[in-house]
Amino acid sequence: MTFNDIFKSSFLENITAVSLFDMMLALVLAFGLGLFIFLVYKKTYQGVMYSSSFGVTLIALTMITTLVILAVTSNVVLSLGMVGALSIVRFRTAIKEPLDIAFLFWSIAVGIVLAAGMIPLAVIGSVIIGVILLVFVNRKSHFNPYIVVIQCDGHASELAAKSYLNEMTRRCTVKSKSARKGSLELTLEIRLKDDDTDFINTLSEMQGINSAVLVSYNGDYMG
């Protein structure tokens, strides 16, 4: 192979495989839709510690996917090599919130659809998905579970506390009980009748109750 043969290779021919206008339009749209996904994620986040880096990752993932699919659609041989190269990539980051998986797939799907030239599908589909997530994820329900942790001084105060909670809540279930000499600690799952949580103040002032704590229960209870 001579020096001239190198410049006659298909490498230089691939430079114009994707026009500059198509490239810029796809990346600008990917950034816009990625930003929309990030805003929906920020509005619907219900975890304990919000991670701004994950939101930025959604924007970057949308643009990166668009970039990759643009390259793949412009060259069949490159698409086969890309499949082989990506098959060896392994990600070890743990996903703590199940809803985060939906946002990751959403970003990837938008990048693929945009790079394929289906702009109306990407835009309209993203708007519909965003509205559905905003409506259903942010919907508040009085029947969401809560955890009440009570510290009391004996069996009598335990019965009084459970009787009071049964009266003030829709449902009350004992999840765990820890007994020490002269003190008891109860963990109960409750369902509220409404948004009023003032009953926990009254409970803490009852005879024999040392403390009462109300905690939102997200389903990750261990005990």
Count of CB atoms situated within 10 Å of the CB of 147: 18
Per-residue pLDDT, 223: 37
pLDDT tens for 146-179 read 889 998 888 888 888 889 888 888 888 888 888 8
Q: What is the pTM of this model?
A: 0.63
Contact (CB, 8 A) for 175 and 147: yes
C-alpha span between 149 and 217 (Å, rounded): 12
The CB-side HSE value for 65 (13 A sphere, CA atoms) comes to 23
Residue whose C-alpha is closest to residue 121's, from 129, 113, 109: 113
pLDDT tens for 31-69 read 999 999 999 998 888 766 677 888 899 999 999 989 888
Count of CB atoms situated within 10 Å of the CB of 15: 7
Give the pairing of strands 183-191 and 145-152.
antiparallel
Count of CB atoms situated within 10 Å of the CB of 114: 28
Q: How far is CA 192 from each of CA 11, 162, 165, 213, 216, rounded to the nearest angstrom? A: 66, 14, 10, 15, 11
Query: What are the structural domains of the chain?
Result: 3-137 (no CATH), 145-216 (3.30.70.260)
Q: Does 184 score more than 80 pLDDT?
A: yes
Q: Can you state the angle between helices 119-137 and 98-115, rounded to 10 degrees? A: 160
Listed ranges 59-73, 91-105, 117-131, 156-170; the one with the highest mean pLDDT: 117-131
C-alpha span between 126 and 107 (Å, rounded): 9
- Structure-derived torsion over alpha carbons of residues 179, 181, 183, 188, reported in degrees to the nearest 10: 0
Confidence of residue 123 (pLDDT cuts 50, 70, 90): very high
Q: For residue 94, give the amino acid letter.
A: A
